[in-house]
């Protein structure tokens, strides 16, 4: 395969997506139904959508006997071993577009519509002990032909994951019996701890695109070959290509390099098929949904992509050419289940289901529950200490900043005595209902990382550049150049935003501290996480992690209430 530069790769995007859309022809032969799945999940979660059988494009080349493979999958657990609340950003239009009824469990898990009411009705979501119950039920009908995969962002993003340096999630995933995973935020553990965790994992951590900078040798295994009832499977791991640029611990992984490395990826797929005799290829991908769709159009020979990173809930999988792409949301809210019917090494039919994990309606698996408790117990007293109260629903997930962001950025601004307080637009983070707040809530909802609060001195020009760069990652006219998460959150800045304009032309009428912005003036910025913390090499870090400063700030400012952050006035033209 021709080596693509990142630019060419992105340009290819539109064409690939188009090929996928137009090139899709339904097989004339109706697929055989997948043998009955375990029904336990349906008993526990009465309202979840039934699996829908879907035809695939693979032509039937013979009428020989078929076999069935079940792939159970998770992604973006972000270390949330215990149940939590989690509000998405989608509105009523999303519900209509997906045929989801208001008030349904899918509306609760997938949108912001009626969230506070539905949270009371359905309760917390996730919890890996609850997830384990469903996994065991769905595996029980055919354990010998069931795989369990995770597409990354599993070991980082919660208080418990941080305080155990990822040990708790690794041991829990060992006990559940995962077959393989790939990575992104795991790199934030730092090289030494990460390699220890990888050594402790009883399942392979796959990353074909992680190499050392000296010889470009792969650091980890790129793939795994597994034989399931005579069928040879190749599972390849593609870690988040920008991990070493965008996680907080940029400097914690010296000597490693990443990227898409798409020609090496293709070579690995070819090697698995030709040399190892793999008949079916599964790509465990932490690239994000749009990148998965492009890659599915570029790569040859990938049957299934188990995706992650963008936290998308694919109620129906995407299909690009012969590749089925799926992703199961985030925070352990849903267990993915893809049942493949395979004949002569080709997928000839499948059913796909996302099973809700409602913590109060699924009994926790006793073994996994005890394991989580073992890790939690030493930290219980510290984590359950009440530090204040919120009168607002606190959530992060939203394009321009939720209520949590309004509090965090204002706190950074106040603590640093700065003009501006900034925080990254991460997609992960628990939602808090009005009520008391504990230390654990502050970590899980606001800042489950160990970085300090930096007080940086930036010029007006630098502040504008960081905002414009970030906006371009999100609003670029080419959807595939939208590589960022949500918009950078900043308190103390106001600006007019024209999202449809070109890079560096989107912002106008910038005000800092209610005064007109000056290009050459210097401003103090309090920031923790993301790229703004690296913009001033002389930035002063706090002695304690920013999250501990937040704990104290909340103690002093409780009760909290907040409106969603409004940095930008959005203009049409």
Q: Which CB sits closer to Zn ion, 273 or 293?
A: 293
Closest CA to 225 of 179, 261, 173, 260: 179
The DSSP bridge partners found for residue 224 are 235
Give the shortest CB-298-to-Zn ion separation in angstroms.
21
Count the residues of the shown chain that bind Zn ion, applying the rule CB under 5 A. Answer: 4
The DSSP bridge partners found for residue 366 are none
Closest CA to 511 of 563, 467, 477, 551: 467
Q: Which residue has the tokens 């502040």?
A: 463
Question: Could you tell me the strand order of the sheet in which 231-238 lies?
Answer: 223-228, 231-238, 280-285, 304-306, 323-326, 318-320
Strands 386-390 and 211-212: unpaired
| Binding positions for Zn ion, 80-139, rule CB under 5 A | none
By the rule CB under 5 A, 536 interacts with Zn ion:
no
Among 48, 124, 167, 184, binds Zn ion (CB under 5 A): 184
Give the shortest CB-469-to-Zn ion separation in angstroms.
19
By the rule CB under 5 A, 290 interacts with Zn ion:
no
CA distance 338 to 194: 30
CA distance 391 to 153: 31
Q: Which CB sits closer to Zn ion, 9 or 185?
A: 185
Q: Which CB sits closer to Zn ion, 151 or 170?
A: 151
537: number of Cβ within 10 Å = 6
By the rule CB under 5 A, 76 interacts with Zn ion:
yes
CA distance 328 to 373: 26
Binding segment toward Zn ion, per CB under 5 A, in 178-186, 220-228, 378-386, 465-473: 178-186
- Let me know if 422 is exposed, middle or buried by CB neighbors in 10 A (0-12, 13-18, 19+): buried
By the rule CB under 5 A, 268 interacts with Zn ion:
no
307 neighbors 325 (Cβ within 8 angstroms): yes
Q: Which CB sits closer to Zn ion, 80 or 184?
A: 184
Q: Which residue has the tokens 């139904």?
A: 33
Give the shortest CB-191-to-Zn ion separation in angstroms.
18
- ∠ CA 142-289-306, nearest 5°, is 20
Binding segment toward Zn ion, per CB under 5 A, in 145-153, 271-279, 445-453, 554-562: 145-153
Among 89, 153, 268, 369, binds Zn ion (CB under 5 A): 153
Binding segment toward Zn ion, per CB under 5 A, in 2-10, 37-45, 184-192, 401-409: 184-192
Give the shortest CB-151-to-Zn ion separation in angstroms.
9
Give the shortest CB-498-to-Zn ion separation in angstroms.
29
Closest CA to 540 of 416, 446, 410, 421: 416
Give the shortest CB-85-to-Zn ion separation in angstroms.
17
Q: Which CB sits closer to Zn ion, 153 or 171?
A: 153
Structure tokens at 80: 């949330």
Q: Which CB sits closer to Zn ion, 124 or 184?
A: 184
| Binding positions for Zn ion, 358-417, rule CB under 5 A | none
Q: Which CB sits closer to Zn ion, 76 or 472?
A: 76
By the rule CB under 5 A, 309 interacts with Zn ion:
yes
**Where does this chain bind Zn ion (CB under 5 A)?**
76, 153, 184, 309
């Amino acid at each position: 395969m021709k080596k693509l530069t990142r630019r060419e790769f992105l340009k290819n995007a539109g064409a690939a997506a188009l090929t996928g859309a137009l090139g899709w022809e339904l097989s004339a032969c109706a697929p055989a139904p997948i043998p009955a799945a375990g029904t336990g999940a349906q008993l526990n979660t009465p309202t979840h959508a039934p699996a829908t059988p879907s035809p695939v494009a693979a032509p039937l080349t013979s009428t020989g006997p078929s076999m069935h493979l079940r792939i159970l999958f998770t992604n973006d657990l972000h270390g949330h071993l215990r149940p939590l609340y989690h509000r998405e950003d989608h509105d009523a239009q999303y519900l209509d577009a997906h045929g989801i009824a208001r008030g349904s469990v899918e509306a609760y898990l997938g949108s912001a519509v009626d969230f506070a009411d539905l949270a009371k009705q359905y309760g917390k979501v996730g919890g890996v002990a609850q997830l384990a119950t469903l996994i065991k039920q769905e595996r029980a009908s055919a354990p010998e032909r069931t795989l369990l995969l995770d597409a990354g962002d599993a070991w980082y993003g919660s208080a418990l994951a941080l305080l155990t340096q990822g040990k708790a999630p690794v041991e829990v995933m060992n006990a559940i019996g995962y077959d393989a995973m790939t990575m992104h935020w795991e790199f934030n553990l730092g090289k030494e701890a990460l390699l220890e965790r990888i050594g402790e994992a009883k399942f392979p951590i796959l990353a074909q695109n992680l190499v050392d900078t000296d010889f470009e040798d792969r650091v980890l295994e790129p793939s795994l070959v597994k034989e399931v009832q005579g069928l040879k499977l190749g599972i390849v791991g593609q870690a988040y290509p920008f991990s070493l640029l965008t996680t907080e611990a940029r400097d914690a992984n010296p000597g490693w390099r990443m990227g898409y490395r798409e020609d090496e990826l293709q070579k690995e797929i070819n090697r698995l098929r030709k040399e190892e005799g793999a008949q079916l290829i599964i790509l465990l991908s932490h690239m994000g949904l749009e990148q998965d769709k492009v890659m599915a159009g570029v790569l040859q020979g990938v049957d299934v992509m188990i995706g992650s990173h963008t936290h998308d809930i694919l109620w129906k999988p995407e299909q690009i050419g012969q590749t089925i792409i799926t992703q199961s949301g985030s925070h352990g809210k849903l267990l993915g289940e893809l049942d493949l019917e395979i004949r002569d090494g080709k997928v000839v039919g499948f059913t796909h289901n996302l099973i809700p994990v409602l913590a109060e309606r699924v009994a926790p698996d006793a073994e996994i529950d005890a394991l989580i408790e073992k890790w939690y117990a030493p930290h219980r007293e510290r984590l359950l200490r009440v530090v204040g109260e919120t009168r607002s629903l606190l959530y992060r997930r939203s394009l321009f900043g939720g209520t949590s962001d309004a509090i965090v950025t204002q706190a950074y601004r106040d603590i640093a005595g700065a003009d501006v307080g900034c925080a990254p637009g991460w997609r992960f983070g628990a939602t808090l209902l009005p009520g008391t707040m504990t230390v654990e809530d502050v970590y899980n909802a606001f800042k489950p990382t160990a970085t300090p609060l930096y007080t940086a001195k930036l010029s007006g020009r630098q502040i504008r550049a960081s905002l414009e760069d970030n906006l371009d990652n999100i609003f670029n006219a080419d959807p595939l150049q939208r590589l960022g998460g949500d918009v950078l959150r900043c308190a103390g800045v106001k600006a007019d935003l024209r999202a449809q304009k070109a890079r560096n032309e989107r912002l106008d009428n910038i005000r800092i501290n209610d005064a007109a912005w000056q290009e050459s003036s210097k401003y103090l910025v309090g920031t923790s996480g993301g790229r703004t913390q690296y913009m001033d090499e002389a930035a002063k870090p706090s002695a304690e992690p920013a999250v501990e400063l937040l704990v104290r700030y909340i103690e002093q400012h409780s009760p909290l209430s907040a409106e969603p952050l409004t940095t930008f006035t959005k203009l049409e033209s």
